[in-house]
Structure 1
Amino acid sequence: MDALTPLTYKTLLSKVTETTGRPMHDPATGDLIGHAPVRSISDVDNAVRRARAAQPGWAARSDDERVQTLLHAADAVEASTEALAELLCREQGKPLNGPNARFEVGACAAWLRATAGTPLPGGTVFEDDEIHAELHYRPVGVVGAIGPWNWPMMITTWQVAPSLRMGNTVVVKPSEYTPLSVLALGEVLNSALPDDVLTVVPGEGDLGAHLTTHPDVDKLMFTGSTGTGKAIARDSASTLKRLTLELGGNDAGIVLPDVDPSKIAEGLFWGAFINTGQTCAALKRLYVHTDVYDQVCAALVEFARQMPMGPGLDEQNVLGPLQNKAQYDIVAGLVDAAIASGAKVLLGGDPANDGGGLFYPTTLVADIDNDNPLVAQEQFGPALPIVRYSDLDEAVAMANGLDVGLGASVWSADPAAARSVAARLEAGTVWINSHGGVHPMIPFGGIKGSGYGLEFGSEGLKSVSVPQVING
């Protein structure tokens, strides 16, 4: 197809579904969307073989040629935005509007363009009368990319765009929960790419495990749970794969006593509830100073009440269902346990479940202990525990008390005070008066149990390359 020919939803769906395979259902309605292909280990081997054969030719192209190809791919994504967004909405559950489906598709195009425009890393590192040393970044080879179900198109783009820019080829294994979205993105991207440079292989978890140990996969990028990340690190050791692991988080936010609660309520809400709370770097536990605790809780309740939740194809909704029943059960179980422990539900916590979808109401839980499972475990859904503190050192200790470190935030009217607290937090990114925002030129990655390796900007290009020093 012509890369700039807009695809309709029906046409795109027909390109990525089969008559048999894994049945995919809309989490908002339970309706059948279609059947996703389920590929085999031999299909992975074939994809890697073709990627290995295509990689030297792709790497031999000039950087400008690869840049122009990425820009053409961005044009293709933009041309089919509505079809991609509708499929994403139906399969993942996120609404069309708000920071959701159209937003995610737009981010795919934006990241392709930003990656194309990022200056290549490297250059002269030392020079004197006898030595001229240059550092260059060469393609690593074949990149295996294993993505999650919460932001399936956007995170796949985060993995694919820098890999292609640096001359690698990519084999993508999407989540079993959202394969159609990634297949659709791959269909559109491949309208602008040479054959076999990018291949999407949907299937069960054994395909991802096979990529992890495959001797012809040189680099693996994974976004998902800490447990799976540990398994990848262990199983990939025999082939010494380079790894980028963006793993689970349980991000803390600390609210200082000088805030105006009405001014931060919107930022707190979207920091916690973007994508209905199903975001690795969402705000998942909030520590509020006792002097402003009641006011912050009240401001959050007032703002949250105004945010409509429902089927994503309804243009008014900005919050959707949980993507799958397993995640729904985790959220419901944690909230029920918090209620049983005596915590106070300010909003939500009582799902109706009369519409056939996996909707869990926006839930705010106050007067909760720091060791409560809703605080200590990553809920990954629309339930925010709000913990009271009186001593800042205590708040910092609680924020740092878990073996995760993806993101964190500090909320204050005094930027200097906020930065001072931020420097004490153990997280890969600490935001001031916001939470979870990412930018294609700002490096992003976790520490502790949240993984290692950086994405975005020049650091992201380095992560999908191998350094070479030419000294002479």
Structure 2
Amino acid sequence: MSDPAPEHASGLATAGPADPEHDRTASYALDPGYVRALTDRVVSTTGESVPTYSPFTGQPLGAIPQSSTADVETAYRRAQRAQEAWAATPLEDRSRAMLALHDLILDRQDEIIDLVCWESGKARKHAFDEPLHVALTARYYARTAHEHLDPSRKAGVVPGLTRVEVNREPKGVVGVISPWNYPFTMALCDGLPALMAGNAVVHKPDAQTMLSALLGVQLLEEAGFPRDLWQVVAGPGRELGGPMIERSDYVCFTGSTATGKVIARQCADRLIGCSLELGGKNPILVLRDAAVDRAAEGAVRAAFSNAGQLCVSMERMFVADQVYDRFVARFVERTKAMRLGSGLEWGSDMGSLISKAQLDTVTAHVEDAVGKGARVLAGGRARPDLGPYFYEPTILEGVTPDMTCFGDETFGPVIALYRFHDEAEAVARANAGEYGLNASIYSRDGKRARAIARQIRCGTVNINEAFGATFASIDSPMGGMRQSGMGRRQGAEGIHRYTESQSVATQRVVRFAPMLGMSDQAYARMMTANLRLMNKLRRK
């Protein structure tokens, strides 16, 4: 990075474009041969392609071949054939491939991060989260495969005479539709447990970040997974989504609530399952006993990581009267000190938004709020001097229900501050609205904060942390309540969603019918007495 540019009127310190002589711009990220090696993995016979662009400059990075509905059918046929052999592969062999992927990702993390930065425009420190999260996911499911997938013994109805086992059988071919905001981790993290459970994947990444997803598929092959096991198609969701759902045995989608509802209806028509991580308007609560400096540091990450383009980032902050003024002063100070910049080097605190459409949404939300009386405490404007889609990290005060950003998801670097008088009020306001994805609570009293967390209607709650504690704890489930989705990724739920449970019971000696000339009535009396006895013995 070059030296910081002079501080602007808004108070934000900024980093200018990288010095071409010192910028570690990796040539492979723009090299046509490198791009072709990735895009060869797209199932496409149309002869059509569309360019993908870098938000840093607005210039094209490469051309992505487009898939037809016939290509979708081809992808599913290939995946289905590969899945049949893969399902018969021992768990030990699947785990070895998963652990090889773990090491390969760590070895190649600079390449992954560079490509993610080029395609998404995010700061390098936020791009680092992506290989980190995928490596954690790969290692977790490799190490816990037997725990989650081995046949398990259950209690039989007649102790000692009824043996019951539950098997976990793969669904078949899983359709994964992944978003642009975390193009590497969201491309892989949902599909890895599907592979571990013996499934194949047909994947449609978002058009804006295809290359990062395709790099992930290349690494899967290099780690030892069969090539046809993970198929990639490219094209508009409105054209390929329906054919994918028609051929999938299960669907995993991350994106908007509106699209998620359409997918849920289509899956219901076929009686197949789906998991959906959808929108959020996530709250952060700063309680009266919070450590102010720690809360202010966490709030910066909560609101502005990946320029706010994170499903679990915070857009509403409720701060107790007792610490409001001190907290706001520290939060504004930290926000204004953030370094904005483009390029591949470490040092920037925030990068670019992904597109003009995203910039337009953020701009419209802030202008609407300010026009109706909200106050800008930091940020509040676009920064075309840094790149076409940069927008300053923005803190608003005085946001009211008639403003668009009060209840609608902005999905950008904008957060609204609200003062509260008592914690019951804060919980009620945090639960207001239709979403329930993630929340954060700052307090020195962990026990009290955990009790308050039980009252928050969100799928994950982080205490004294923005979102990383739950996001990186792969053994725990992650997902949304209410309009923020259904199903969970991570943990046991994250892999069991891709399996069918099969109960197998072996009965010995007695049968479930009258024996030795016993009448039906006598049989009923005997079974009733047995039930009473089992209850007295406190048996299940």
| Alignment check: 8 A CA contact 1:13 1:87 kept | no
Residues in 2 aligned to 1:252 and 1:169: alpha-carbon distance in whole angstroms: 37
Structure 1 residue ranges without an equivalent (≥5)? 1-5
Asked whether the 8 Å contact 1:147–1:223 carries over to 2, the reply is yes
Match in the other structure for 1:442: 476
TM-score between the two structures when normalised by the length of structure 2: 0.82
Are positions 1:462 and 2:518 aligned together?
no
Query: 1:394 Cα shift?
Result: 2.0
- Spell out the pairing of 1:121-200 with structure 2 (5 A cutoff): 121=149, 123-127=152-156, 128-191=159-222, 192-200=224-232
SS of alignment partner, residue 416 of structure 2? strand
Q: Secondary structure at the match of 2:228?
A: coil
Q: Give the deviation of 1:8 after TM superposition.
A: 4.8
Q: Which residue of 1 aligns with 2:140?
A: 114
**2:119 aligned with 1:91, yes or no?**
yes
Residue 127 of structure 2, aligned match among 101, 107, 129: 101
Q: Is the 8 A contact 1:293 1:388 kept in 2?
A: yes
| Of 77, 100, 105, the match for 1:49 | 77
Query: How many residues are aligned here?
Result: 464
> What amino acid does structure 2 have at the position aligned with 1:112?
A
Q: Are residues 78 and 13 of structure 1, via their aligned partners in 2, closer, same or farther at CA, if it must alter by over 3 Å?
A: farther
Encode CA deviations 1:168-206: one digit per residue, 9 max, x unaligned.
Answer: 000000012111111121122122211310111121113
> Is residue 286 of structure 2 the alignment partner of residue 265 of structure 1?
no
In structure 1, give the amino acid aligned to 2:79.
A
Structure 1 residue 238: Cα displacement: 2.2
Q: How big is the shift at 1:211?
A: 4.3
- Distance in 2 separating the partners of 1:245 and 1:148: 12
**Residues 315-326 of structure 1: pairs in structure 2 closer than 5 A:** 315-326=346-357
The equivalent position to 2:256 in structure 1, one of 208, 220, 225, is: 225
> Does the aligned pair in 2 maintain the 1:8–1:80 contact within 8 Å?
no
Aligned-residue offset at 1:370: 5.0
- CA–CA separation in structure 1 for the residues paired with 2:93 and 2:239: 32
Distance of 1:407 and 1:114 partners within structure 2 = 22
Counterpart residue type for residue 242 of structure 2: H
Q: Report which stretch shifted further, 460-469 or 414-423.
A: 414-423
Aligned pair partner of 1:15 in 22, 37, 41: 37
SS state at 1:364 partner: strand
Which residue number in structure 1 is paired with residue 533 of structure 2?
none
State the distance in 2 between where 1:259 and 1:410 align: 9
Amino acid at match of 2:38: V
> 1:124 corresponds to which letter in structure 2?
R
Q: Is the 8 A contact 1:44 1:207 kept in 2?
A: no
Letter paired with 2:388: G
Distance 1:76 1:260, change over 3 A: closer
Query: Are positions 1:347 and 2:378 aligned together?
Result: yes
Query: Offset of 1:106 from its aligned partner?
Result: 2.8
Secondary structure of the residue aligned to 2:477 is coil
1:414 deviates by 1.3
Distance 1:53 1:13, change over 3 A: same
TM-score, normalised to structure 1, is 0.94
Percent identical residues: 35
- Equivalent residues in 2 for 1:19-34 (5 A)? 21-34=49-62
Aligned match of 1:246:
277
Q: Match of 2:131, SS?
A: helix
Match of 1:82 among 94, 110, 113: 110
Inter-partner Cα distance in structure 1 for 2:39 and 2:498: 31
CA contact 2:52–2:207 (8 Å) conserved in 1: no
Q: Aligned partners of 1:105, 1:207: CA distance in 2, in Å?
A: 30
State the SS of the aligned residue for 2:189.
helix
1:391-435: per-residue Cα shift (whole Å, max 9, x none)?
322221111111111111221111122122111111111111112
CA contact (8 A) 2:383 2:389 kept: no
Q: Counterpart of 1:177 in 2: which secondary structure?
A: helix
Between the aligned partners of 1:350 and 1:156, the Cα distance in structure 2 is 32
Q: Please, which moves more after superposition, 186-195 or 49-58?
A: 186-195
Query: Which letter does structure 2 place at the counterpart of 1:447?
Result: M
Q: Distance in 1 between matches of 2:28 and 2:169?
A: 39
In structure 2, what is the Cα distance between the partners aligned to 1:376 and 1:335?
A: 13
For residue 125 of structure 1, what is the amino acid of its counterpart?
K
For residue 206 of structure 1, the aligned residue among 220, 238, 262 is 238
User: 4+ residue runs of structure 1 moved beyond 6 angstroms?
Assistant: none
One-letter code aligned to 1:58: W
The alignment yields a C-alpha RMSD, in angstroms, of 1.9
Q: Shift of residue 234 of structure 1?
A: 0.8
How far 1:260 moved relative to its partner?
2.6
CA distance in 1, matches of 2:180, 2:400: 31
Question: In structure 1, what is the Cα distance between the partners aligned to 2:298 and 2:401?
Answer: 22
Write the mapping of 1:301-450 to structure 2, written as runs, cut at 5 A.
301-370=332-401, 372-437=403-468, 438=471, 439-450=473-484
Contact 2:458–2:480 under 8 Å retained in 1: yes
C-alpha displacement of 1:371: 5.2
CA drift at 1:41? 1.1
